[in-house]
Amino acid sequence: MRPTLARRLLAGLATATLAVGAAGCGDDGDRSTDAEGRIINVFSGANAGFVPNFNPFSQNSVAGTMSVLYEPLLYFNGARVDDVQPLLATEYRFADDGRRLDLTIREGVRWSDGKPFSAEDVAFTFNLLRDHPKINQNGLPIVEAVAADPTHASITFSQGVYTRLNLIAGRIWIVPKHIWSTVADPAAFTNSKPVGTGAFTLASFSQQNYVFERNPNYWEAGKPKIRGLRFHQFASADSAIAALAAGQIDWAGSFIADIDKQYVSKDPEHNRYINESQLYLTNLIPNLDRAPFDSVAVRRAISLALDRAQIIKLAFSGYGREASPAQLPRPLWDDYIKPEYQDRKLEFDPARAEQTLRADGWAKGADGIYAKAGRRLSFTVKVVQGYNDYISALQIMTQSLKAVGIEMKTQEVSFTAFSTDQQTGDFEMIITNLYSEGTAYSWYSRAFSSKRTAPLGQQAGSNYGRFRDPGVDAALAAIESTPPEARDAIREQLFKIQDVIVERLPYIPLQQSASLIEYRTEHIGNFPTEENHYALTTPYNGPDMGIVAKNLTPAG
């Protein structure tokens, strides 16, 4: 997963209405009704022009590098909890209290250049990460990886890694030793001629588009069914959405206001979409190291003053859903939410918001704003310029808070400035998304672990609000030493964390965010649906993107 805000850039989430015309996409061959001979057209995010980078360890690699060209050991389905499937590894087992991971490697796999794949490639990849910290982006504590024979590899770590199985086996893309062993600097390598085990290979590349075509050496019999994918460059989401509505794009992930009218109605028979609403939680994140947000009463009063149903309807086009106070997406994670919190909603009670402030010693001034010890209850929220849905939400919240005697102001800053300020704590409050690496532990570790934060002025890893609680840290540590199959024990610790979150309200949840994914069924079938959610449908994230691509079929 890329940084928190990057998915909004990748998905082209500037609010847009459809243009009348559309840029052409694809040639006549791409419009073939024969899906097996068809290259489908994909939009993975607004881009001024593609830069050739197929390095699976680089955050600047082009969409599809991860999981379309290169594969991990296991697939962790982002759309289903505890759905782990074999890919390049067929079995795994932890040993030595989680400090060793033993893997059985799939037989019969070949690299796209025809050379055999083996456990040697797996061991080489993890030792490459160990020896080059710049590409070890998840900070995996690798000691050594060895191949016992062509189908068995073991990776040892300096500490238990039970909670990092997804990052180790699901988010590390295995590369061929016979090519990468000659690469002097794997962090800087752009890998212009990629050789992977994925279902597709690179066929052509330009600044305007690049094409992946079917890998004839792919290990999974009968897949892929389609000939390939062409990724198109659009400078703005508006022009891409216009091409989508005109039937010139087959698969995209863009925010479209009033999507049924602006997209589905253009071709009701074939234009489809799915709302992948389990990926992100939109929050107001107060800086807990700064007054007045060190007060639970102030945070609770702000929360009580917000009409989330109105915010979702007016600012987010009704696509989002109300967030759980337990800060896990529902219903996906219901099995890991304490029963008493599963159906609990965040209250909207303006009168109680004011009562909460008065009980905490705040008194309303002549200007209608509460004050305490000479300080007015006034603060500024930083937001990225151009994030129109966020900006609209803040406008609505400003009026709601003013009605209960709280003054909120908005400051729009560049993406770069926002990213820096959130890491260093140079803000009173920000609005942003929380996300995870696919586990309930990750949701809480990223947002609430004291290990993920830092003093003001220093860069925090992901706990930007500077939340610290010894009980939460202890529960996270207990999960870290618990094997993943011990789910009841893990739940017990998660419930302890939820008790703290609900009571202390460190962040102020706004919504379970929408991620709209559009696709056309005129020539292509078997996209994931709510009924058959075999993967996330996102056309910009691995590993799900590669799983979807290799499972697409001719329509009908």
Residue 152: count other Cβ atoms within 10 Å of its Cβ.
Answer: 17
pLDDT over threshold 60, residue 373: yes
Q: Classify residue 204 by burial, with Cβ atoms within 10 Å: 0-12, 13-18, 19+.
A: exposed
Q: Which of 355-359, 373-377, 428-432, 540-544 has the lowest mean pLDDT?
A: 540-544
pLDDT band at 437 (very low <50, low <70, confident <90, very high): confident
pLDDT value for 9: 31
Query: Under CATH, domain 281-512 is a member of which superfamily?
Result: Dipeptide-binding Protein; Domain 3 (3.10.105.10)
Q: Is the pLDDT of residue 4 over 70?
A: no
Q: Give 449-460 pLDDT, tens digit per residue.
A: 999 999 999 999
pLDDT at 10: 31
pLDDT bin (cut points 50, 70, 90) of residue 554 is confident
Strand partners, 154: 102, 146
Residues 141 and 127: their CA atoms lie apart, in Å, by: 11
- Work out the average pLDDT over 478-491: 95
pLDDT at residue number 15: 33
Q: How remote is the C-alpha of 413 from its chain's centroid? A: 22
Report the alpha-carbon distance of residue 499 to residue 326 in Å, rounded.
8
What's the token pair of residue 319?
A: 């696509």
Average pLDDT, stretch 192-219? Answer: 96
Q: How far is Cα 243 from Cα 18, in angstroms, rounded to an integer?
A: 9
**258-289 pLDDT, tens digit each:** 899 989 999 999 999 999 989 999 999 999 99
Is 74-180 a CATH 3.30.450.20 domain? no
Predicted local distance difference test score (pLDDT) of residue 34: 54
- Lowest mean pLDDT: which of 13-17, 115-119, 545-549? 13-17
Token representation of residue 411: 């400051």
Q: How much is the pLDDT for 555? A: 83
On the question of pLDDT at 13 being above 70, the answer is no
pLDDT tens profile 153-172: 999 999 999 999 999 999 99
Q: Which stretches of 414-544 are assigned E, i.e. beta strand?
A: 429-434, 508-512, 516-520, 524-525
Is pLDDT larger for residue 488 or for residue 240? Answer: 488
Residue 182 DSSP label: T
Name the band, by pLDDT with cuts 50, 70 and 90, for residue 27: very low
Transcribe 316-358 into DSSP letters. Answer: STT-SBPPPTT-S-TTTTGGGS-HHHHT------HHHHHHHHH
Upstream peptide bond of 3 is cis (omega within 30 degrees of 0)? no
Instruction: Determine if the peptide bond prior to 292 is cis (ω within 30°).
Output: yes
From the candidate CATH numbers 1.10.150.530, 3.40.50.1000, 3.40.190.10, 3.40.50.2300, the one assigned to the domain spanning 6-55+198-276+515-554? 3.40.190.10
Confidence grade of residue 49 (pLDDT, cut at 50, 70, 90): confident
Task: Indicate the length of the chain as a whole number.
Answer: 556
Confidence (pLDDT) at 125: 98
Task: Report pTM.
Answer: 0.88
Burial annotation 281-319 (CB, 10 A radius, 16+ → b, else e): bbbbbbbbeeebbebebbbbbbbbbbebeebbeebbbeb
325 to 449, 489, 490, 496, 510: CA distances (angstroms): 17, 22, 19, 14, 10
CA dihedral 382, 384, 386, 390 (to 10 degrees): -60
Q: pLDDT at residue 20 above 90?
A: no
Going by their DSSP bridges, the two strands 39-43 and 251-252 should be labelled as parallel
Contact criterion met (CB below 8 Å) for 137 and 167: no
pLDDT band at 556 (very low <50, low <70, confident <90, very high): low
What ranges do the domains of the chain cover?
6-55+198-276+515-554, 74-180, 281-512
Whether the pLDDT of residue 2 is over 60: the answer is: no
498-544 per-position pLDDT tens digit: 999 999 999 999 999 999 999 999 989 999 999 999 999 999 878 99
CA angle (399, 402, 405) in 5-degree steps:
165
Mean of per-residue pLDDT scores for the chain: 91
pLDDT digits (tens, 9 = 90+) for 274-332: 999 899 999 999 999 999 999 999 999 999 999 999 999 999 999 999 999 999 999 99
Mean pLDDT of 86-110: 98
